[in-house]
Amino acid sequence: MVLLKGRTRLGPRPFRTCCMREAIRHLKSADPVLGRIIREIGPYRIEYSPPNYQTLAKAIVLQQLSGKVAATIFRRLLAVAGDGELTPERLLALDPRELRPLGLSRQKIAYLREAAERVLARQLNFAELARLPDEEVVRRLTAIRGIGLWTAQMFLIFALRRPDVMPSQDLGIRAAVRRAYGFARLPAPREVEALAERWKPYRSVASWYLWRSLEDQAGL
């Protein structure tokens, strides 16, 4: 992000395809282990989602679940909501008792409803988030009950297309690092962060390759 003179703030630019060659070149040069993973996986083909309520809701559903289980639950939710875009209005129109059989816990139902209410009350504005620095996006999202750092980071990577996010708490990332870098145990988030220093300013790209290096691709 760039801070200009006075109070004008120029928001961060989303990651674009034109920057990919530089990102891949940097990561290969900075880290031979990651370079090997990149060569094995091939081209960077991340699938982005629009920065809207549905994408945030999907990240909430994914919390503390395997990718495949969460994907099944979310497909059921979309079907119950009308098999179209999941909007705050559609979510709030559903009786919470309809959502429990889908595999959603009472807590997650409450989180989904609170996020929907925040959007409708204009306390959460996705267009505004796109113009804010990463740290402020995290601050605003984690102010909502049930949205933690991991969920905010997923939204930054997959919806806002930010290039330098490091979800060091993610179990998939930690498992991939353990296997690729020969850790005897699952590395702590701080150890992942220390390793990732060399990946800046493309830690989101590095993370995607680490997820893809797993057999189940971490639900991607």
For the segment 49-73, what is each residue's pLDDT rounded down to a tens digit? 999 999 999 999 988 777 788 889 9
Number of structural domains found in the chain: 2
CATH code, 138: 1.10.340.30
| DSSP code per residue over 159-201 | TS--S----TT-HHHHHHHHHHHT-SSPPPHHHHHHHHGGGTT
Residues 87 and 176 in one domain: no
- Give domain status of residue 11, yes or no: no
Q: Could you check whether the bond before residue 201 is cis, i.e. omega within 30 degrees of 0? A: yes
The pLDDT score that the predictor gives to residue 12 is 66
Mean pLDDT calculated for residue range 139-159: 96
DSSP-derived 3-state class of residue 2: strand
Give kind and range of the element (H or E) at residue 76: helix 67-80
pTM score, two decimals? 0.87
Residues 174 and 97 in one domain: no
- Give domain status of residue 173, yes or no: yes
Residues 88 and 182 in one domain: no
Residues 59 and 151 in one domain: yes
Annotated active-site positions, please? 170
Q: Whole-number mean pLDDT of the chain?
A: 89
The pLDDT score that the predictor gives to residue 66 is 73
Domain boundary among 131, 158, 185: 158
Residues 173 and 135 in one domain: no
The pLDDT score that the predictor gives to residue 1 is 27
Domain boundary among 158, 180, 205: 158
Residues 110 and 88 in one domain: yes
Q: What percent of the chain has pLDDT above 90?
A: 80
Mean pLDDT calculated for residue range 145-149: 94
- Give domain status of residue 192, yes or no: yes
pLDDT digits (tens, 9 = 90+) for 199-212: 999 999 999 999 99
The pLDDT score that the predictor gives to residue 84 is 77
Residues 206 and 177 in one domain: yes
The pLDDT score that the predictor gives to residue 195 is 97
CA distance 113 to 57: 9
Specify the higher pLDDT residue, 130 or 85.
130
Phi, psi of 3 (to 5 degrees): -100, 125
The pLDDT score that the predictor gives to residue 140 is 97
pLDDT digits (tens, 9 = 90+) for 178-195: 999 999 999 999 999 999
Residues 59 and 152 in one domain: yes
Tokens of 92: 């709030």
Strand ranges inside 45-154, DSSP E: none
Q: Which amino acid is at 24?
A: I
Sign of CA dihedral 191, 48, 121, 91: negative
Residue-range definition of the domain harbouring residue 21:
17-37+165-214
Domain boundary among 158, 180, 206: 158
- Give domain status of residue 4, yes or no: no
- Tell me the sheet residues that pair with 10: 2
